[in-house]
Structure 1
């Protein structure tokens, strides 16, 4: 039996429909998670985050977030003597919320903090939120381990 142009159009249409159904099934099996349980409530507090970020940009000190040897290094550079930051470091793993962590800021003698994430590798959103002398500060950065 010879295939004419009508058969070929039908075959192309069937292949297209089959591939769409296959992609739909794959997308339904994908795990979709929010960054945290109260994601929408936290996003309403955006102005506080903007102010804290602006406070850090105008401060006389800086916070650096980097990765080294599958660990996250948070460095406080140029801190005023006598001021100790209090706050939290939050590690958000976008692809698996069970690996999210919240750690209190605890600096060593060099004003650094080394964090070992629960997960081995991948992308983390690191958020350092702290307070010194009654002023809120915020530093956020994406880190890949």
Structure 2
């Protein structure tokens, strides 16, 4: 049986479509490929976005913003010293882009002008830290990427 060029093109297109369908179905159903969103409450976070922009502006307008330093004990989150630390409320969220199970959140209950994140909670690698805090009714937001 002799094939002409039109039949060859049709067979090639059908083969290509079959390959793409196989690839899509395999990637969608295989358990070893993880397709999680960055956050579970994606749409709720989107609604809070304008509040985060305003809180970031408030933090950038401070003379002394938060400073994060690394030590043998862990990460030290230093708050501005001109604020009364017992009036600061909020939370610190550490996000590990490579592993969702390592993410954690700490509430702010300060007994000094700094918060220590223990070294045993942090593995070496890249972390995104978000400090969302308020002082006397004004919200502040500080974000930083760091390598521990």
* TM > 0.5 fold call: yes
Alignment check: 8 A CA contact 1:65 1:72 kept: yes
Question: How large is the RMSD of aligned CA atoms in angstroms?
Answer: 2.9
Equivalent in the alignment of 2:110: 107
Equivalent in the alignment of 1:3: none
Equivalent in the alignment of 2:91: 88
Equivalent in the alignment of 1:75: 78
* TM-score between both structures, scaled by the size of structure 2: 0.68
- 2:50 & 2:84 partners in 1: Cα distance? 29
After TM superposition, the structure 1 stretch with the greater mean CA deviation from structure 2, 100-109 or 83-92, is: 100-109
Task: List runs of 5+ in structure 1 lacking aligned partners.
Answer: 1-23
Change (3 A) 1:129 1:136: same
Where does 1:35-74 land on structure 2 (aligned, <5 Å)?
35-69=38-72, 71-74=74-77
- 1:48 & 1:105 partners in 2: Cα distance? 19
Does residue 1:140 correspond to 2:133, yes or no? no
Task: List runs of 5+ in structure 2 lacking aligned partners.
Answer: 1-22
Q: How far has the Cα of 1:82 moved from its partner?
A: 6.9
After TM superposition, the structure 1 stretch with the greater mean CA deviation from structure 2, 68-77 or 98-107, is: 68-77
Which has the bigger relative contact order, CA under 8 A and spacing at least 6? 1
Q: How far has the Cα of 1:115 moved from its partner?
A: 0.4
* TM-score between both structures, scaled by the size of structure 1: 0.69
Alignment check: 8 A CA contact 1:66 1:143 kept: no
Alignment check: 8 A CA contact 1:60 1:78 kept: no
Encode CA deviations 1:84-121: one digit per residue, 9 max, x unaligned.
Answer: 21000011111111111111113343x11110263422
